[in-house]
Amino acid sequence: MLERIEKLQVISLGLLVSIALVMSTQMISSTVSKNEISVTGSAYEIVKSDSGTLNFDIVIKRSSKQAAYSALQTQIKTVEDYLKAKQIKNIELKTINGYYSYKRDPKTGAYTDIQDAYNLYQPMHISSDNVELIKEISNDITSLINKGVDINVSPASYDYSKLPELKVTLLEKASQDAKNRAASMLKPTGNSVGKIQSVRMGVYQITPVDSTNVSDMGINDTTSIDKKVTAVANVSFKIK
């Protein structure tokens, strides 16, 4: 009985091996019949931003509209004097946002129709090609609070103006990297890389230098001065 079971196991194993060989042959034939190889290549370059911007708001709250506007003019001058001393020339005052706030009912907590104060938000924008200066100001401008300026500061933004040209260069390098990879893969087979059949550009990843983050939608970091710009190319080559 035991001998019969062993024979059946041997027969079953043989059938499985035969099926695997057939499937493997079909897969190889399918790949070779296309006579193409598809490879993903990449390239990156580290660049330094050449412009920076900073946005912030002067916040005013006074008992009346007139008092709020008067206080705002004083605080704007304090901020402008500070920026001019830092050699910032591009200073932009954006549209003021003003509104009344209302008192709450002490019993219910609901707002009443009694005016409590008038509030003003004065957005300001500065820019410079001196990115280190923008960084310095972004870290220091809140010191104006000691001079009576109520200020809210957003994170500084840094950009690289030659990014369009760099993307073209990196795409070329990524395609060459794909060709080199394809050649390495084909070398053991005795084949070589032929003409490009198709190229599909992947998304660009613009990240801080030490970041390993990637995204299917691409990343466009504006928080760091030094950036790593990475390009990806999916290339299909003819096999010779």
Q: CATH homologous superfamily for 34-48+161-239?
A: Protein of unknown function (DUF541), domain 1 (3.30.110.170)
Q: The tokens of 146 are what?
A: 């000691």
Highest CATH level, class, for 51-159: alpha beta
Q: What are phi and psi of 61, to 5 degrees?
A: -140, 115
Place of tokens 């091996």: 17
The domains of the chain are located at: 34-48+161-239, 51-159
87: buried, middle or exposed (CB in 10 Å: 19+, 13-18, 0-12)?
Answer: exposed
Q: What is the band of 157 on the pLDDT scale with cuts at 50, 70, 90?
A: very high
Q: How many residues does the chain have?
A: 240
Q: Which amino acid makes up residue 7? A: K
Taking phi over 0 as left and psi of -120 to 50 as alpha, with beta for the rest, 144 belongs to alpha
C-alpha dist (Å) from residue 121 to 98, 108, 113, 198, 230: 6, 29, 22, 54, 39
* 10-24 residue pLDDT tens: 444 343 334 333 333
Nearest partner of 74 among 150, 133, 158, 139, judged by Cα: 150
Give yes or no on whether 34-48+161-239 and 51-159 have one common fold. Answer: no
C-alpha dist (Å) from residue 152 to 139, 146, 167, 199, 226: 12, 14, 35, 47, 25
Q: What is the band of 105 on the pLDDT scale with cuts at 50, 70, 90?
A: confident
Contact 54, 153 (CB under 8 A): yes
Region 93-117 average pLDDT: 92
pLDDT above 70: percentage of residues in the chain: 86
Cβ atoms within 10 Å, residue 131? 20
Does 117 score more than 90 pLDDT? yes
Nearest partner of 102 among 90, 92, 89, 116, judged by Cα: 116
What is the pTM assigned to this prediction?
Answer: 0.78
Nearest partner of 199 among 11, 41, 7, judged by Cα: 41
Does 110 score more than 80 pLDDT? yes
Nearest partner of 96 among 72, 79, 77, judged by Cα: 72
Contact 46, 226 (CB under 8 A): yes
Contact 225, 237 (CB under 8 A): no
